[in-house]
A and B are shown apart, each in its own frame.
Chain A
Amino acid sequence: MNLKRAVPWIAFGLALAGAASSLLPSGKPRGFDVEAFGQIPVLEGGRVKPVDTIARNALLMIRGKQSASSEGRSIGPDEWLLDVMFRPEVADRQELFVIDDPEVLGLLGIQQSRNRYYSFATLAPRIDEIQRQYVAAEPIDPKVRSHFQSAIVNLFERMFLYHRLKNTVQLEGTPGLAAEIAARAGPGAPQRHQLLVELAHFKPLLPVTPAGDAWRSVGEALTGTTTVEPGLEQWARLGLAYQAQDAASFNRSVADLAATAALGRPDAAARSDHEWLFNAAQPFYSGMVIYVLALLAVFVSWLWRPVLLQRLAFGLLLAGAVVHTLGLASRVLIQGRPPVTNLYSSAVFVGWAAVLLGVVLERMYRRGFATAVAASSGFASLIVAHHLSVDGDTMEMMRAVLDSNFWLATHVVTITIGYSGTFLAGALAIGWVVRRHLTRRADPAASKAIVAMTYGIICFALFFSFVGTVLGGIWADQSWGRFWGWDPKENGALLIVLWNAIILHARWAGYARERGIMAMAIFGNVITSFSWFGVNMLGVGLHSYGFMDKAFWALSAFVGTQLVLMLFALVPARFWSARRAEAAAPGKDRPEGASQPV
């Protein structure tokens, strides 16, 4: 009895401990304090971030993964960036560039094989040809580029990013930053400084004035200076030490750089440390794993020890929710923005709200069913978010018209909760269909409970999507004088509101019973996915390729599965596995809501 009570808490604690374990120091590869290097704050993309974020995003863009392999071992993003910047001859031999397009490979004279990764050294001899093709393809509108053109533009841009990283602290092919500083007044120095200014991918040197935000690139710091500032000298020593593979000296330079930043810009350094922690913890990845475990626990509970395992699953779900919440809160703190700022963060947020609703539902109905649905919604949305994150920094700066924390916090968050509710109702309905067709046990009470949950969630979704839509209108009225402009995104939101309203009115009027409501709730998934992603593809048109092309097929496949599930929902009761449920209790199959609104 005691064990049963303790089980959810044990599961909860173990899952959290597992998630926290990723924060343990991972040791120093070959004695280099790579983690401390990753924490150094620099400026890129308009905001201060740790070097680690730059390394991760760059590696993700170039290689599609957050790790590379060098000299037979797997290396992390920070170590990779060090190789690129200070040992380019080593980095050039690493198999970094993922190339899937057979025509691009053909251009390079390479036959497609199982290995999708190619080193810079392999590509370098054909760089003129790549550039020639890029110059031809780049002016073409991305909407109408062919597959090959998109792929070549993408490859060239990745190679250019790699080139910029190499030339951020010191010019490739020169002896290094220390020599550059020594020769700062020598012949050709201004040209080299100018090149460093133009190529720098990030700006590693603190602003001159303590309050300003004008961070400087190495080139900018070198131009026209006679004295050498400490930051510049520390980067130079760091480069020399890494080049010479002198771990002790490298670690000292890293510590000095960290001290310089902490002294000069304590706020930026603290924020950057927080972001590094967030990167290292990968809360959304841990959350995904925990949600899968919770889901598995529910599945097993249907076969064995239902009560115990359902509690265990609930404990895991709670742990997942906590990790997910911490991740979301970290993003809010780092960015200084409300949680939803772009498509990526909306996916994270949709899952989060669905999980919280699921937790509430599970507390109310205690059948393990809501746990399963919430865990799968959380998992699915984090997967979607992961696929949206490969474009680069997910914490980009907000364009001027969006730069309003008030409206981001009200309209965007409310409408995203509306998406979340509609998806959760759809997920509950899918769960109901699956259950109906798979289980042999008759359980009309459970079925009824699921219908009640779905109904409640649809009400919730209607409220939030309506309020969110109208708030969006008010924002539009405030920013360009048009409450309603029939813009695709507005229309998408309106479709969700209308559909939820139709479901509720059909139920109140008694036109749709259990099966009908459930099928309609599943169609809500189609509507929501259209207004969430579909309208973004409209502008792209029919000739879209590349990422959005894949997204289009993913969306179509999703819509297809939803339509099939709707058919399953509408199949008459006599075809169900759980049909005895209906047969055993004909009196209870009263059409609910037929007489009056509930």
Chain B
Amino acid sequence: MTLRTTNPVLRALVSLKLTIACLAALMVLVMACTLAQVKLGTWPAVEIYMRAWFVWWDVPGTELRIPVFPGGALVGLVLLVNLFLAQLVRLELAWKKVGLWISHAGLILLVLGEFVTGAFQVESQLAVEEGQTVNYVESPRELELAVIDVTDPAMDDVYSVPAARLERGGAIPIPGTPVAVQVRRFFRNAELARLGPADPPSPVTAGVGTGVAVRERPPVSRDDQTNQAAAFVEPVAGGRSYGTWLVSNGLGAPQSFTHEGRTYQLQLRSRREYLPFAITLKDFRHDVYPGTQIPKNFSSLVTIANPSRGEQRDVLIYMNQPLRYEGKAFYQASFGKGDTLSILQVVENPGWLIPYVSCVLVAIGLIVHFAITLRRSSRRRQAASEA
């Protein structure tokens, strides 16, 4: 190794030992993350092991949390620094090393891409029934309390409070309106049932929730489970209380109250992001192989209407064939309601092209490097057999 430095810190940072240690630590993390998914589900396992700087251990019986292992983000960062510096310090600029240069550059890009994804990727869903038009996407995990002024039949004013704010409790003034929402209690996961004689009396005084018992449940995280959140909220306007209401994403119809001639709806729902365009589902198809129930194809024929661009056109979204539009990609993900409801996965990731570039770079680099190595070793063997 031609080290051009004597600084011990730099030497450690560029050493191959550190590379190997990082790769090994990454293997441990990946393994742990994989096994943890069985119990926790994908999302929390990735948050705990891969996207964190440290893996924490809650000491049982205490409030103490001890970092027990570097997390994926830290290992990735160290690996990135190590790769980058090694490139500058250790690897000589020679033609026989060109393959390693290219593939390492590709790897740096790949790790960077994963950081970009971790920081910027937003995943949401768009559920649309045949004939329906939808102009928003919904978060699969986060909830919001929507306070909607529906007085004007042509247009709704939507104010939303993220569930994280509800969890803190207290009074939340809704900007632009005289209304403030007082959060009495918030449940991250709860079971709703008809209020029985054995249940404690409900604090709810208005809306459909008066006859409903709310039983707290431990929050779940596995991929096949969803939380049913609930909250007791009390809208207050102009010094007057409009009663305590039960809101939950498990309740179907919105509930409303009227204050000074304006009608407000209350709804706890998946967090929405409104789009500058609308999508209409014209037809959903679910084909099976003849004589079986094995799905052959799912496809959604949708119309995009974008007034700002004066655009109106049909698009067919099907397996392995997403629609990329306005920085978002729409994928056929699921379906329901007797094949009349189509659920599209919507992903926004500004770094989506990075892995493509890095893959090509690494592959070319490895081919070049191994070709050079193979040529040299076969030349050596030839020389040995001639000698």
Seen from chain A, the residues whose Cβ lies within 8 Å of a Cβ on chain B are: 43-47, 203, 213-215, 396-397, 399-401, 403-404, 407, 452, 456, 459-460, 462-463, 466-467, 470-471, 473-475, 477-488, 491-492, 494-495, 498-499, 501-502, 505-506, 508-509, 511, 535, 538-539, 541, 595-598
Contacts and interface: CB of A to CB of B under 8 A. Distances in A.
Interface string B12-46: 00001101100110110011011101100010011
Given A47-B289, A473-B359, A482-B347, 8 more contacts: A396-B294, A397-B289, A459-B370, A477-B352, A481-B331, A483-B355, A486-B34, A495-B30
Interface stretch (B130-138, B178-186, B295-303): B295-303
Contacts of B345: 480-481
B295 A400 contact: yes
- A interface: dominant SS: helix
Contacts of A487: 42
Contacts, number: 157
Contacts of B320: 401, 404, 407, 475, 478-479
Nearest to B51: A486
B123 interface: yes
Contact of B363 (A467, A505, A535): A467
A26 B297 CA distance: 42
B45 A474 contact: no
Most B CB contacts (10 A, CB to CB) among A46, A494, A499, A539 go to: A46
Given A467-B359, A475-B320, A477-B352, A486 B33 contact: yes
Given A471-B359, A474-B355, A538 B23 contact: no
30 contacts: A44-B291, A45-B291, A45-B294, A46-B288, A46-B292, A214-B290, A397-B289, A400-B296, A400-B319, A452-B377, A456-B377, A460-B370, A463-B363, A470-B110, A471-B359, A475-B320, A477-B355, A478-B320, A480-B347, A486-B33, A486-B37, A491-B33, A495-B27, A498-B30, A511-B17, A535-B34, A538-B35, A541-B38, A596-B1, A597-B100
B366 A481 contact: no
Nearest to B30: A491
Contacts of B1: 595-596
A478 B322 contact: yes
A400 B298 contact: yes
A257 B117 CA distance: 60
A459 B376 CA distance: 15
Contacts of B321: 478
A509 B294 CA distance: 51
B119 to A, nearest CB: 14
B378 to A, nearest CB: 8
Contact of A215 (B17, B37, B42, B290): B290
B356 A538 contact: no
Contacts of B123: 481-482
A481 B100 CA distance: 30
Contacts of A538: 34-35, 37-38
A190 B57 CA distance: 68
Given A452-B377, A498-B26, A505-B23, A473 B355 contact: yes
Nearest to A485: B42
A463 B370 contact: yes
A45 B100 contact: no
Interface string B271-296: 00000000000000000111110111
B161 interface: no
A498 B72 CA distance: 14
Given A463-B363, A495-B30, A505-B19, A480 B333 contact: yes
